[in-house]
Structure formats: structure tokens, C-alpha cells
Structure 1
Amino acid sequence: MKKIYLWFTENYLSIIVPLILLLIWESCSRFNLIETKFLPSPSWIIREFFILLSNGELVRNLLISIIRVAEGFFIGVSLGIIVGIQVALNKNLQKSVRFIFGILRPIPVIAWIPVLILWLGIDESSKIAAISIGSFWSVLVSVVQAIRNVDKKYLEVAKVLRKDYKTTMLDVILPSTLPEIFTGIRIGIDVAWRSVIAAELIAASAGIGYMIMYARELFQIDIVLVGVFSIGLTGIVIEELVKVAERHLLRWNTNIYQEEVTRKI
């Protein structure tokens, strides 16, 4: 009970402010101050949410989108870490790809979707490829920057002691870069989630993005808003799960980490 009270005292504003906004929205709908045909009331949206939840349509579409994100995100993160390490540690490679990466990185994922559909078709491959591209750049940039920020004295000591590449990576570089890499992963999962919605809006027969687009064509604004808010809530849950994993893997503090690295090298 005490933990709940402490949590509420720390987060009461984040609870009260949305509730006030919902009450204002509901009141405006009840007194016909807004056109409910275009913006249904919160109570009506919540009602539709439970209907879609009970008939399984919302859960089914969300699960399809989440599976797509998981597959594409795993590919994008893996490639981002591998390529990022190589680029950060190889100056010649860094110079070689600087111009290419400079052109490709600013291109939004949604611009790739028509190209990917032409190359891979409208099945799962194009959607997973779009998610992979979206998450790849966030992780790549974080990995490169994290390795650049590694304390040079640790690398110098490892070099003096003639530690091999594997030992230097696992015992020196990787532990010191994990906090920044996780920052890139959090950004990457956000981009991946947005990428799958964009892909499903353009070409899909299932998924939360498809549900939103199909409801829009039928002018079912309440279902559209259920889908939109479900995307946001699912994004929050995914981000919190990543934070839990980050806290679990990064239990050390700075002093403990420094002592551990010094002992290993």
C-alpha cells in the first residue's frame, strides 16, 4: 500500500491531467460542442474498444503487428550492432561509407515502402524489411557514437596488455557502450513500431494499421481512434519492457563498472 501511495504522489500529475482532458472532451461531446460524427466521445470510444477486445479483432490485429515488429526489429538491431561496430573500429571503412550513409539515413521509412513492395511484393517480406530499415539506423548511430565515447585509457591498457580483439570487445567496449546502445534500441523500437503501421496502412490484409485504414474507408471513426490509441498504449508497454530489460542488464553503477573493467584487463 505504501508503494502505491509513493508511486501516486510521484506520478499524480501524469494521471490527473489526462483525466481532466478526457472530462473536458466528454463534456463537449455531451453538450454538442463538437461534432461527434468526426470526433466521438471518450465513453463511446471505450465502448467500441471493449467490443473489439471481446470479439478478438483488436487482439488479433495487434498480435500480427507485434510479431512483424519483433521479426524486423531483431534483424535491424542485429545488423545495426554488427555494422556499427565495424564502422566505429575501422577508420577506412568509416570513410568509405560516410557519403553513402549520409544519403540513405535521412530517407524516411515510408519512402522505402513503395520500393520494397515492388521488390518484395505485398506479403510479409516488404513489411519486415521496412521495419528493419527503420530500426537499423537508430541502433547503428548509437553503436558508433557509443564506441567513440569509450574511455581511451581502457583501450590503451588493453592494447598494452596485448589483449585480443574478442577480449577487448567483450570485456571493455561492450560493457561501456551498453547504456548508449540501449538508448538506440529504445529509439529503434519506437521507429520500428511506427514503420509497421505505415507499411500496414499502404499494403496489408491484417494488422492494426490495416484495421485503421479499413475503418476509415467505412467512416468508422470510433474504430479508427481505438486503433490509434491502441498503438500508443502498445508503444508505451513495449518501451517499458525495454526499460526493464535495460535495468536488469545494466545493474552496475559507474564505479562498479570501472573497477570490473580494470580488473578484467
Structure 2
Amino acid sequence: MSYFFELVSNSADSLIRVLSGLSMAIVYGICLGLLRSSLPMKVKSNLVFNFILESPKYPPPIAWIPFVILLMGIGEWSAITIVFIGAFPPIFTSCYEGIERLPKNLFDISKSFELSKTERLIRIRLMWALPTLFTGVRIGAGMGWMSVIAAEMISGQSGLGYSIQLNRLNLQFEYMIYDMISIGSIGYVIAKFLAWLEKKIIAWEDSELKC
């Protein structure tokens, strides 16, 4: 029974870290995606500029763990930062690419309405990008969940990743199985929740496809 309470506590710790890192990744991903889409075409097509923005997303999040530990030490914020590193790239990229797919004639038509530049950016461009953005959020959530487990295994003091390492050292194989089941179950619930949320927020996409 005591292990059950530990499992619940560790699951809650991991989930809180993921939600914190994912929330930050969504906010920064959307803001920077909007900002990037607003840049002049000359800048957006610059190879050096694109290399600087795109290349950091290719190292896996686990490769950043030693750097994060050196800079931030071992603690909550280091684990949340690793989640952010894993979740941010797909959200940022999907937001930007979704906005860039907006037909130019549609955006030109929107200029005839009495909307400010900021309103056009949010109400036209961001709304158009929502389906692609949600794909990035789902991918980012999955990457963030895997990242926090890896971070906890290496430098955690609580959480499911830490629990797996502790049970490995204590040769408690059955508890490791429970940890793995919890990791898979929570990941599945997160994915299903985001899919449900996507249908609720952008229900108009399904209705358009049916027409």
C-alpha cells in the first residue's frame, strides 16, 4: 500500500513538471512562431537565419541534460527546462508552418476589414494555423513526457523516472513494471485529452471537411 502512495506521488510530480514545461513551450512557441511569420521574406528565406533557428531542435532532449544540470543544477527547474526543450521545437515549427500556409489572397482580403495588424495576425493567421499547431502540441506533449522521464532517471529526486532508477538499484523488478505501466497510461491519457481538446476548439475543421 505504501508503494501505491509513492507511485501516485511520483506520477503527480512527473505530470506537474510536464504540464509546466509544456505550458511554457506553447506560450513561447506561439509567440515566436507569430513573430517569425511577421518577418520580411528576405529574412525568412535567409539560409543562415534558418540554420540558427532550426539546427538546435535536432539534438535529442536527453543530450541537453548535462548542459542544463551544469547551468541550473539538480532540481525542479532543470527537469521543467528539459521538458521545454523537448516540447518547444515541434510547437514553434508547426505554428510557423501553419501560418505560412495561409493563402496570400485570403490574407489580402482580410486587410479590407477594419482590423489592426495585431488582430489580423491573431484572428486570421493564428486561427488558420490552429490545426497544424495542435499537431505540434500533441507531438510536443509526447516529447515532453519522454523527456521528463529521462531527466528524472539521470538527475531527478522524485518522479516516475527517478522511481524506475531507484527500483532498478534495489532490484525491485515488479515495481519497475508498475512504473512503466503508469508512464504509458499517463502518456496515453495526455494524448487522448489533447485530441479531444482539438476537436472542441477547432470543430469547424471537421464541418468543413464534411461539406
TM-score scaled to structure 2, two decimals?
0.90
Unaligned runs of 5+ in 1: 1-49, 258-265
The answer to whether 1:244 aligns with 2:193 is: no
Alpha-carbon spacing, 1:93–1:134, altered in 2? closer, same or farther (3 Å):
farther
What is aligned with 1:107? 59
**Is this contact kept in 2: 1:87–1:93, CA < 8 A?**
no
Corresponding residue number in structure 2 for 1:86 = 35
- Look at both structures and tell me which one has the larger radius of gyration over its CA atoms: 1
Judged with a 3 Å threshold, the aligned counterparts in structure 2 of structure 1 residues 216 and 255 are, in CA distance, closer, same or farther, namely: closer
- State the partner residue of 1:30: none
State the Cα RMSD in Å.
1.9
> Is 2:147 the counterpart of 1:195?
yes
| 1:253 positional shift | 3.7
Match status 1:205 vs 2:157: yes
Select between 176-185 and 165-174 the one with higher mean Cα deviation: 165-174
Change (3 A) 1:93 1:62: farther
- Which amino acid counterpart does residue 130 of structure 1 have in structure 2? I
* CA spacing shift, 1:168–1:249, aligned 2, 3 Å: same
Partner amino acid for 1:89?
A: S
Contact 2:34/2:126 (8 A) holds in 1: no
For the 8 Å contact 2:34–2:121, the answer to whether it is kept is no
Q: Secondary structure at the match of 1:252?
A: helix
Q: CA deviation at 1:168?
A: 1.0
In structure 2, what is the Cα distance between the partners aligned to 1:93 and 1:221? 54
Q: Deviations over 1:133-172 (max 9, x none)?
A: 1111010110111011112221011235564212212331
Amino acid at match of 1:61: N
Alignment match, 2:9: 60
Q: Within the alignment, does 1:182 sit opposite 2:134 as a pair?
A: yes
1-side partners of 2:30 and 2:67: how far apart? Answer: 25
Kept after mapping to 2: 8 A contact 1:81/1:140: yes
Structure 1 stretch displaced more, 96-105 or 193-202? 96-105
Q: Is residue 149–residue 160 contact of structure 2 (8 Å, CA) maintained in 1?
A: yes
Who is 2:174 aligned against? Answer: 222
| CA deviation string 1:211-253 (max 9, x = no partner) | 0000011111111121112101100001111111111111214
Deviation by residue 1:107-145 (Cα, 9 ceiling, x = unmatched):
110011010000000011111111111111010110111
Aligned-residue identity in percent:
32
Cα distance, 1:158–1:234 mapped onto 2, change above 3 Å:
same
Q: Which has the higher contact order (CA 8 A, sep 6+)?
A: 2
